[in-house]
Homo-oligomer: A and B are copies of this chain.
Amino acid sequence: MLPKKAFKTGSTAPDPPAPGVLRLISSRFCPYAHRTRLVLAAKGIDYETVNVCLYKKPEWFFSINPLAKVPTLQHDGKVVYESLVCNEYLDRVFPGRKLLPEEPLEKARIGMLQAVWDAKCQPNLMKVSMSEGEERQKVFDALKEGLSFLEKHLATQSGKSFFGGDQPGILDYSIWPWFELIDLLLTDDDVKLQEVEFPELLAWRAAMFDRPEVQTCAFDMSVFAKYVATMRAGNPDPDIGLEDSN
């Protein structure tokens, strides 16, 4: 039985996964690892989890992934890392619902939306929670500019709730971890996403919350908030909320 607690600097590496077993090297509160957990759940793929501490990385992790970042997959001697690379790999090698379109322009469109998210939305979403006053308002406006692009895209997909169409696809899962955390990131009334400005995006968020794969993987918000408190105190605890026995 693998421990839930994070492997840290100085730890002994766990044995490699047994033949045929897919292992996710993860971190409980990492939104990038969350992307891959969502895809694993959406496709109904069995896997085991090894958690690592991202603040005190185990030495052995660097010999598996030179960037020592999560998510990293191990499977029968093969290693795959980088969240979007992992997700495309999983989608292509495992059976089940296809999450990434095959048609080249459709696939390019997902890449372009992802690029807008990466450039305009994600960094500003993080910055809103760390800035104040006028600066915060400026960052929030920049965030909304990026989100408007996603809003417009959803509006062109008449009657389809998700970026993937009738069901979530690879982009829905790749941006979801930050949307799931949005109430932690946008805490005050002056930096809320308003229904009148983002009707499509807020309907998408509600529809995502209803999905079983999203519920299965959901961050426990009360535990997440405690984790953020340890982070802000300069001593992030990746094991917070776990029983001693784990």
Q: A67-B119, A67-B120 are in contact. List 7 more A-B contacts (CB 8 A).
A: A66-B149, A67-B115, A84-B111, A85-B115, A88-B104, A88-B108, A93-B105
Give residues of chain A (97-114) contacting chain B, Cβ–Cβ below 8 Å.
Answer: 104-105, 107-108, 111-112
Residues of B within 8 A of A92 (CB): 104, 107
Could you tell me if A88 and B111 are in contact, using CB atoms closer than 8 angstroms? yes
Could you tell me if B105 and A88 are in contact, using CB atoms closer than 8 angstroms? no
A82 at the interface (CB under 8 A from B): yes
A89 at the interface (CB under 8 A from B): yes
A41 at the interface (CB under 8 A from B): no
Complex alpha-carbon distance, A81 and B81, angstroms: 24
Query: Which 4 pairs from chain A and chain B are nearest by CB?
Result: A85-B111, A92-B104, A89-B108, A82-B115
Residues of B within 8 A of A78 (CB): 105
Q: How would you classify the secondary structure of chain A's contact residues: helix, strand, loop or mixed?
A: helix
Taking the closest CB of chain B, its distance from the CB of A136, in whole angstroms, is 23
Taking the closest CB of chain B, its distance from the CB of A26, in whole angstroms, is 17
Could you tell me if B149 and A112 are in contact, using CB atoms closer than 8 angstroms? no
A80 at the interface (CB under 8 A from B): yes
Complex alpha-carbon distance, A105 and B78, angstroms: 8
A231 at the interface (CB under 8 A from B): no
Residues of B within 8 A of A82 (CB): 111-112, 115
